[in-house]
């Protein structure tokens, strides 16, 4: 495990190493696969039968391992007893990042919650320092331009109308690490010329639809504004996201379809990626399975299949991830975790997740989604959302981020840029 004096994880290089086992690639499973690593990169991927011709002989015997790419979480509030929205130092925030790293998340976006302006700026600057240290790949703000009636586990009193200057101030504090911001389309100042959505694209971030009571038409207008802004900024391949689809949104009703229908349609068109907190608490198995099948069945005009590249599995984890039941905090809100489920102490709303992303992958497979699709939605797709084309899959030339598990997807070893991660807390 690195410390503040060690090289950044993405700058580390490792010696040549060959791993064998069931290999999950972005497009399939190699039951008798081989992954060769060299100088922090994936050098070659293939079957044992092909390995000799590729120059890899005397392979180790298989021991039932499953090899996954390092996972990529684009929505994570903490873990290991530490909360990103509450951390006042890099050391505190690092505890949460390392908790998820030890469990296979090699690229993590740290998420904040709605808070007063000064708190948001201070916490954002702290996370920018953590990103400078190579511990996280970016920052996500869940608010403050959200719907008070769909506030979830956030403080509605800190939610404000759209403020482009606040967006620019946050982006300045983030120093290039602001990746996404969750916004509600119906909040004044979010959609429109010079509004929050256009300003987010201007500063290099992505708008994410969430915590909203918007109508379908309001959501469609916000998505169209985001798509147009990205195209105008020379980012035509970039896509918006939907923050934990279903959760913190007006429910889907056949006469009032709300934001969910609009987000699913946009995902099928290839304009948006929907986050799913597929932990068995936030969403039922049938919902998880249906969404993957729904957006995965669409073929666009260019012949490209939209999903599972239209689905990103996320944890929405809070401080209790990897910890025992008990009392915790999420920003200014008090949370009680019982039987592994986090809820507001007052009111009982679900207050984030307690899973690691690998747990979410396992739950998604149990829901009936294929292993390839579940892993792709937790690695390749979110890496694409972030524009990180150097990682996210066991593909030659990509960064050697590897999670070695047993047949039940339980961690045995984690490698980041080819370097072994210390699995001890």
- Give how far the C-alpha of residue 278 lies from the chain's centroid of Cα atoms, to the nearest Å: 12
Question: For 81-106, what is each residue's pLDDT tens digit?
Answer: 999 999 999 999 999 999 999 999 99
Tokens 């840029």 found at: 417
Instruction: Evaluate if residue 2 carries a pLDDT over 50.
Output: no
Position 148 scores a pLDDT of: 95
Q: Read off φ and ψ for residue 311, nearest 5 degrees.
A: -125, 130
Number of H helices, E strands in the chain: 11, 20
Instruction: Give the DSSP letter of residue 411.
Output: E
CA distance 185 to 381: 24
| pLDDT mean over 311-325 | 96
Structural domains in the chain plus CATH codes? 9-69+395-420 (2.30.40.10), 71-385 (3.20.20.140)
Q: How many CB atoms are located within 10 Å of the residue 91 CB?
A: 11
Read off the pLDDT band of 7 (50, 70, 90): very low
Give the burial class of 17: count Cβ atoms within 10 A of its Cβ; 0-12 exposed, 13-18 middle, 19 or more buried: middle
Instruction: Evaluate if residue 253 carries a pLDDT over 90.
Output: yes
Average model confidence (pLDDT) across the chain: 93
Q: Of the ranges 36-45, 120-129, 291-300, 334-343, which one carries the lowest mean pLDDT score?
A: 291-300
CA distance 281 to 342: 10
Tokens 């304009």 found at: 271
Instruction: Evaluate if residue 364 carries a pLDDT over 50.
Output: yes
161 Cβ partners below 8 Å, 6+ apart? 145, 187, 188, 189
Q: Mind giving me the DSSP string for 309-324?
A: TTEEE---B-TTTTS-
CA distance 245 to 248: 8
Read off the pLDDT band of 8 (50, 70, 90): very low
Read off the pLDDT band of 297 (50, 70, 90): low
Structure tokens that stand for 278 in this block: 């597929």
Question: For 258-280, what is each residue's pLDDT tens digit?
Answer: 999 999 999 999 999 999 999 99
Question: For 212-225, what is each residue's pLDDT tens digit?
Answer: 999 999 999 999 99
Position 9 scores a pLDDT of: 35
Residues 278/360, Cβ–Cβ less than 8 Å: yes
Position 72 scores a pLDDT of: 98
Residues 86/131, Cβ–Cβ less than 8 Å: no
Read off the pLDDT band of 295 (50, 70, 90): confident
Residues 186/212, Cβ–Cβ less than 8 Å: yes
pTM of the model: 0.94
Position 296 scores a pLDDT of: 67
Instruction: Evaluate if residue 304 carries a pLDDT over 60.
Output: no
For strands 66-69 and 17-24, give the pairing: parallel
């Amino acid at each position: 495990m690195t410390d503040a004096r060690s090289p950044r994880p993405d700058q580390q290089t490792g010696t040549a190493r060959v791993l064998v086992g069931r290999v999950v690639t972005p497009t399939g499973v190699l039951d008798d696969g081989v992954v060769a690593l060299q100088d922090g990169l994936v050098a070659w991927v293939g079957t044992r039968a092909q390995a000799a011709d590729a120059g890899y002989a005397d392979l180790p015997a298989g021991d039932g391992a499953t090899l996954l790419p390092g996972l990529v979480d684009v929505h994570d509030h903490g873990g290991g007893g530490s909360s990103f929205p509450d951390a006042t130092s890099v050391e505190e925030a690092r505890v949460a990042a390392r908790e998820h790293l030890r469990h296979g998340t090699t690229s993590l976006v740290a998420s904040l919650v709605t808070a007063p302006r000064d708190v948001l700026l201070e916490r954002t600057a702290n996370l920018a320092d953590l990103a400078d240290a190579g511990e996280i790949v970016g920052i996500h703000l869940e608010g403050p331009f959200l719907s008070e009636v769909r506030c979830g586990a956030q403080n509605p009193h800190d939610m404000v109308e759209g403020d482009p200057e606040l967006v620019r101030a946050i982006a300045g504090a983030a120093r290039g690490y602001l990746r996404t911001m969750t916004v509600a389309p119906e909040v004044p100042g979010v959609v429109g010329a010079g509004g929050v959505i256009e300003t987010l694209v201007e500063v290099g971030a992505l708008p994410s639809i969430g915590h909203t009571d918007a109508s379908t038409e309001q959501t469609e207008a916000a998505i169209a504004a985001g798509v147009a802004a990205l195209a105008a900024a020379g980012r035509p391949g970039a896509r918006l996201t939907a923050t934990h689809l279903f959760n913190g949104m007006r429910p889907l009703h056949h006469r009032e379809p709300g934001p969910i229908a609009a987000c699913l349609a946009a995902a099928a068109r290839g304009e948006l990626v929907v986050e799913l907190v597929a932990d068995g608490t936030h969403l039922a198995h049938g919902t998880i399975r249906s969404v993957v099948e729904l957006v995965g069945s669409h073929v666009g005009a260019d012949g490209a299949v939209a999903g599972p590249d239209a689905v990103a599995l996320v944890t929405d984890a809070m401080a209790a991830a990897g910890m025992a039941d008990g009392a915790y905090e999420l920003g200014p809100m008090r949370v009680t975790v019982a039987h592994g489920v986090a809820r507001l102490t007052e009111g009982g709303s679900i207050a984030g997740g307690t899973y690691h992303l690998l747990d979410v992958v396992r739950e998604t497979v149990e829901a009936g989604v294929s292993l390839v699709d579940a892993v792709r939605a937790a690695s390749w797709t979110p890496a694409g959302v972030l524009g990180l084309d150097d990682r996210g899959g066991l593909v030659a030339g990509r960064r050697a981020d590897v999670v070695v598990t047993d047949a039940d997807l339980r961690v045995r070893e984690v490698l980041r840029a080819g370097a072994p991660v210390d699995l001890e807390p």
